[in-house]
Amino acid sequence: MRRREFIVLAGAVACAQVFWPLAVSAQRSERACHLGVLMPLAETDLEAQERLTALRRGLDELGWTESRNLRIDYRWSAAAGDQLRTSAVELVGLKPDVLVTSATAQAVTLQRVTRNIPVVMAQGIDPVGAGLAMSLARPGSNVTGFSQYESALGGKWLELLKRIAPHVMRVAVVFDPENPTSNKFLPLIAAAAPSFSIQLGQAAVRATAEIETAISSFARESDGGLIVLPGPLAATNRDFIIGLAARHKLPAIYGVRHYAVSGGLISYGIVNADLWHRTASYVDRIWNGV
Give the integer Cα–Cα distance in Å for 17 and 34: 26
Q: Which residues contact 193 (CB under 8 A, 6 or more apart)?
A: 158, 171, 199, 200
Q: Flag whether 96 is in a domain.
A: yes
In a shared domain, residues 216 and 123: no
Q: Which residues contact 67 (CB under 8 A, 6 or more apart)?
A: none
pTM value surpassing 0.85: no
Q: Flag whether 5 is in a domain.
A: no
Give the integer Cα–Cα distance in Å for 179 and 80: 9
Number of Cβ within a 10 Å radius of residue 266: 21
In a shared domain, residues 139 and 281: yes
pLDDT confidence bin for 182, thresholds 50/70/90: confident
Q: What is the mean pLDDT of residues 204-214?
A: 95
In a shared domain, residues 206 and 117: no
Comparing CA positions, the residue from 161, 125, 123 lying closest to residue 6 is 161
Task: State the pLDDT at residue 147.
Answer: 76
In a shared domain, residues 104 and 137: yes
In a shared domain, residues 279 and 241: no
Q: Flag whether 205 is in a domain.
A: yes
pLDDT confidence bin for 112, thresholds 50/70/90: very high
Pairing mode, strands 224-228 and 252-254: parallel
In a shared domain, residues 125 and 157: no
Q: What is the CATH number of the domain that holds 136?
A: 3.40.50.2300
In a shared domain, residues 44 and 132: yes
Asked whether the predicted pLDDT for residue 201 surpasses 90, the reply is yes
In a shared domain, residues 106 and 201: no
- Domain range for 127: 12-148+272-287
Q: Flag whether 2 is in a domain.
A: no
Domain count of the fold of the chain: 2
In three state form, how does the secondary structure of 186-231 look? HHHHHHHHHHHCCEEEEEECCCHHHHHHHHHHHCCCCCEEEEECCC
